[in-house]
Copies of this chain bind each other. A is one copy, B any other.
Amino acid sequence: MDISNQLNRMDTQTKITLDDIIKKKLSPQQLREYNRIHYGQETLNELYIDEDITLKCKEKGIDIAGYNFPAAKEESRPPRRVKVGLIQHSIVLPTDKLVNEQRKAIFSKVSELIDIAASAGVQILCLQEAWSMPFFLCTGERKRWSDFAESATDGPSTKFLQKIAQKNKMVIISPILENDHGVWWNTAVVIDENGKYMGKHRKNHLPSVGSFSEIGYYEPGNMGHAVFDTTYGKIAVNICYGRHHALNWLMFGLNGAEIVFNPAATISEFGESFWGIEARNAAIANNYFTCSINRVGTEVFNVKKDEIREHNTMTVSRTYYGSSYITAPNGCRTPSLSRVKDGLLLGELDLNLCRQVKDRWGFNMTSRLDLYAKELAHIVQ
């Protein structure tokens, strides 16, 4: 099935999404049923967004949306509401410009997007996978791009975001290409609301699909399944391809995560039909919030002949379909952001919902982990 030439068919020109069309065509009653079946609730609980912000986004062509996931009132715990922000963005300059110029242009765009998120009160923000660079991992090239690989603790991306985090009292998850003493990793850095480096997580599962492989660039993560106990909630990061692995999601849950972010760089041919399923299923199975962020836009690379590559220059082009969304522990989800535009998705999440849903469904109570630990150990041998 060749999907590539049908990409963005619905909204490249008009920027109208499938949901926009369906919203117009269904009666209010039918729309409630559509929402119930496809988003888990009849009426989507939209978040109030200041008009100034909405106008600014409209001017700049940024897709902005926000949803509220409240929890029931409890006797002993006050509500634990946290506002999260998910940013999806395209690169800015052509990929044959200097690394520093490309990065600077992305920094400038992202800075503006985070400003908007801050004005909307975002407390935890997550950027897309390898947000500060074009996703050159599809080229098979290394040397030319090596300046994009940076230190997790004091590389340019971390330094840049630390100031912003501190200024806005915002926890920021920054997925970068890490260079740790010459060894590369696909890493998410967590910066706390005081701008301090809090820790990092390394991508646990690496794709090798068709001609695309990350295995030549770095190893699978060696840091397990960290959960970061931030001021605003317990968070974890499942980077991109890790979303295909139920056990990866499970471990974050068992380690106490209340929100798991899934920053990604994924194209239509690589399972767009999975996109709405996997992170949503993980939220249901583990009773935490999941926040799925995907790149957006087309990136074109002129891949050059080098010592290994025999062929002449060729063009590699990849189009990311955005569609970032949030799922609550009860399986309710937001609609997706645009498939083609930069975007900011806001979510006001009451983290009390995690335990409430756990208590309702009893998935943890009935998980029989001892059985599976034995069965898995047996299978591995």
Contact = CB atoms under 8 A, between A and B. Distances in A.
Interface of A: 1, 3, 6, 9-10, 18, 21-22, 25-26, 29-30, 33-34, 36-42, 204-210, 220, 224-225, 241, 244-247, 249-251, 254, 271-274, 276-278, 280-281, 284-285, 330-332, 360-363, 365-373, 375-377, 379-380
Nearest to A271: B331
Contacts of A210: 360
Contacts of A22: 22, 26, 34
Contact of A362 (B207, B246, B277, B331): B207
26 contacts: A3-B36, A9-B33, A22-B26, A22-B34, A25-B26, A37-B272, A37-B276, A41-B273, A205-B366, A205-B367, A207-B362, A208-B362, A210-B360, A244-B285, A245-B363, A245-B368, A246-B281, A251-B372, A273-B332, A274-B284, A277-B277, A277-B331, A278-B281, A373-B379, A376-B376, A377-B377
A226 to B, nearest CB: 12
Given A205-B368, A278-B284, A373-B380, 20 more contacts: A1-B42, A18-B37, A22-B26, A25-B25, A37-B276, A39-B273, A205-B367, A207-B362, A209-B360, A209-B362, A224-B375, A244-B284, A245-B363, A245-B367, A246-B281, A247-B369, A254-B379, A271-B284, A373-B377, A377-B377
A42 B272 CA distance: 12
B376 A246 contact: no
A45 to B, nearest CB: 11
A135 B29 CA distance: 31
Number of copies: 2
A43 to B, nearest CB: 9
A249 B370 CA distance: 16
B26 A21 contact: yes
A278 to B, nearest CB: 6
A38 B335 CA distance: 12
Contacts of A6: 42
Nearest to A24: B25
Nearest to A250: B246
